Amino acid sequence: MQRWTSQPLPVPAFPAAPWERADLEFEDLLHDGPSYAVVLFLNNPDVAEDAIPDEMPGFAGHFTVFAHGDCWGDPGHCDPPGKPVHAFDRRAPHPLAPINITVEITEALQALKDVEEVTVTALAYSTEPDKREDVLRFGRLTLITYDPPVTL
């Protein structure tokens, strides 16, 4: 199991500053190894790894990355995708190009009430920990809240 906790992310205090939806965006996730599941908690960096997730404080949801698994090609086949060969390279993106994953955390974040910042703790479970345990690799985590529509 891999544990990762974010730096604090500022949050518009709910319900004082109302918003109607909140998403976590994991950007530039790598998926070149074993598939993995990630369970997310808010403001609970020490959550026990063997706990039942949805019974723990701050449980915010989970996502699974159906990843590519072992490389079946010759050496270099599954190296990180590089840039297009040249400006006229029309080929589809490399299958291992990083992906983004969105997780809706509206209810979990609203339940915290009146907090001004939040940390995200991710427990990542590799399907093949003997081959790779540090499966959660990504470039940036963004917390987005959406304001309710304007009412006249």
Partner 1 sequence: MTLQVQTAGAPRLATLHIRRSLAKLTAGQLADLRAAFQKTMALDDDRGFWYFAGWHGEPFNWCHHHDRLFLPWHRAYLYYFELALQAQQPGVTLPWWDWSLLDHLPHAYTAETADGADNPLLVRKVRVYQSGTDQPAPPRAPGGPQARGIPPPPYRARLHHAMQATSFTEFSRRLEAIHDDVHVWTGGIMQDIASAAYDPIFFAHHVMVDRCWRIWQHRQPGALPPQHLLDQPLRPNGMTVRDTLDVKQLGYEYAGTSSHVPGPTT
Give whichever of 116 and 130 is closer to partner 1, judged by the CB atom. Answer: 130
CB of 61 to partner 1, least distance (A): 9
Give whichever of 70 and 117 is closer to partner 1, judged by the CB atom. Answer: 70
Give whichever of 113 and 131 is closer to partner 1, judged by the CB atom. Answer: 131
Q: Name the DSSP letter for residue 54.
A: G
Q: What is the largest CA-CA distance in the chain?
A: 62
CB of 75 to partner 1, least distance (A): 15
CB of 67 to partner 1, least distance (A): 6
Q: How far apart are CA 69 and CA 151, in angstroms?
A: 49
Radius of gyration of the chain (CA): 18
Helix (H, G, I), strand (E, B) or coil at 33: coil
Whether the Cβ atoms of residue 34 and residue 131 lie closer than 8 Å to each other: yes
Q: Applying CB under 8 A, which residues contact partner 1?
A: 1, 31, 34-39, 53, 62-70, 72-73, 92, 95, 99-102, 123-125, 127-128
